Chains A and B, each alone.
Chain A
Amino acid sequence: MPPSGKAVHAGPDDTLLLQRMADGDEQALGTFYDRWQPLVHGVVLRILRQRDDVEDVVEEAFWQAWRQAGRYQTGRGSVQTWLLTIARSRALDRVRAVTRLREDPIVGENGELVVHLAADGDPSMNTEAAERRSIVIAALADLPAEQREALELGYFGGLSQTEIAERTGQPLGTIKTRMRLAMQKLKTRLQVLREEAS
């Protein structure tokens, strides 16, 4: 049982783990959890910030993975991405359940982003995840700041376009445009990841 998947290529393994989880093998869940909790925790922490229910949300994300392991389809992206999508959804549920518009700013006074755009390698990521991370970070870094802001307020903040408009003091139409442009650029930059997945 690798403690956190150091430099392990986990692709096929993950699919196998999910299969075992679908078959009711809780040890597979343990391995899966050991491997991916740092990534899941990172995302949940980023969305919930310093809230004390981070731990619960991480648990719920893995619990959902356990329950839905049988529904994962290989053609639709990597297992990690599937898991992270679950994690984000559960974290946003929690954020939205508490308040639609959170008080703590995601973007600082001068518009700087809280996500640190540095592709620092992390030993707890496997090579595949690390590669993905640097591609995504490079793509985000290429976006104009205001587009990136709109994207991140939506993705990490769980805010709707109207809420983002309120938050930033920009017209709704402007936010819509920024979000669209940001996504279109991402689409081009991340194409390489989609090809890998299929």
Chain B
Amino acid sequence: MTISGMTHEEAREALEALALDALDASEHAAVLAHVQGCAECRLELATLEADVAQLAYAVRPESMSDVQRVRVRGRLLARAAADRSSSSPVMPDTDVRRVPAMAKSSSRQSMWIALAASVVAAVSLASLFQVNRERETIAAAYASAAGDRTATRASLDSLRSAMADRDKLIANLTGPDVAVVTMASAGPQTPSARMFWDQSVNAWTFVAHNLPKPKAGRTYQLWLVTASQKISAGTFSPGANGEAVVRATYALAKDSLAAVAVTDEPEAGSAQPTTVPFIVGMKSAR
């Protein structure tokens, strides 16, 4: 069978295999070449391909495990969000429908979800190593504060307590009750943060690095985001080194946390977020 000169009859006999994509390479090219110039074969091929497509239904649907399902969903939405924000309305086949005004008018809620999704790729399970590093960071801050006569007793206590938290986390991290949220920033700088949620005692510990100082009259506010509400976990300001540790106690059903976020708010804090979060993270699947 030669590449050129395949007759209609020869091609016709191979259409079924072509539809199944089961032809050997050379034959595949020859049949395809004929089909391109033959309306009858094209039509027949389209029908056969539609039938082949139906064969997928013979397979029993089977959901992925919860961990896989959530993981893939998170990655997909993160990619999609990144894809959307990176693709300017230049693509010829989409620019007509890509109406900027609509994006602008989309509700704050959807913006939140989009932002939450956009950092999922950065989420990973906590490693002992990471927690250890955080403890070292806090320990260093404590050592330097302890040597500083102007450091208040309260700030020393707070750091010591944060260290104790870390110690406890190190001890408990492999336990079943600790969920970890790794957070990433949407801003140009690269603040990073992690939220530790000890579900057995409803304790939340938030550790952030590289935070810029809030503007005058402003503060940062930490939020626990569920499907239906955003719960304030308190306001905070980072220290001179850009580090912050926030602890909160709040009982939340194990599966209800959708994301954790930090917004820039007026100094007194807000009942509900008034700005788009600049740090946000979603719960790791585990």
Q: Which residue of A lies closest to B81 (CB)?
A: A26
Nearest-Cβ distance from residue A164 to partner chain B, whole angstroms: 7
Proximity bits, B88-100, A CB within 8 Å = 1, else 0: 0000011001110
B72–A84 touching, CB < 8 Å: no
With a cutoff of 8 Å between Cβ atoms, the chain A residues found around residue B71 in the complex are 55
- The answer to whether A107 has its CB under 8 Å from any CB of chain B is no
With a cutoff of 8 Å between Cβ atoms, the chain B residues found around residue A84 in the complex are 53, 56-57
B76–A33 touching, CB < 8 Å: yes
Interface of A is mostly: helix
Chain B interface residues (CB < 8 Å from chain A):
13-14, 16-17, 19-25, 47-48, 50-64, 68-69, 71-73, 75-77, 79-81, 83-84, 87, 93-94, 97-99, 102-103, 110, 113-114, 117
Given contacts A43-B56, A193-B54, is CB(A33)–CB(B73) below 8 Å?
Answer: yes
- The answer to whether A102 has its CB under 8 Å from any CB of chain B is no
With a cutoff of 8 Å between Cβ atoms, the chain A residues found around residue B110 in the complex are 27
B60–A116 touching, CB < 8 Å: yes
Given contacts A29-B77, A55-B64, A81-B56, is CB(A154)–CB(B97) below 8 Å?
Answer: no
With a cutoff of 8 Å between Cβ atoms, the chain B residues found around residue A182 in the complex are 16
Given contacts A22-B97, A42-B61, A70-B93, is CB(A85)–CB(B16) below 8 Å?
Answer: no
CA distance A179 to B27 in the complex (A): 15
Of the residues B48, B59, B73, B87, contact of A115 by C-beta under 8 Å: B59
Of the residues B51, B56, B75, B76, contact of A87 by C-beta under 8 Å: B56
Nearest-Cβ distance from residue A122 to partner chain B, whole angstroms: 5
5 closest cross-chain pairs (CB), A and B: A26-B80, A84-B56, A183-B16, A154-B22, A38-B61
B19, B60, B62, B83, most chain A CB atoms within 10 A: B60
Q: Which residue of A lies closest to B13 (CB)?
A: A180
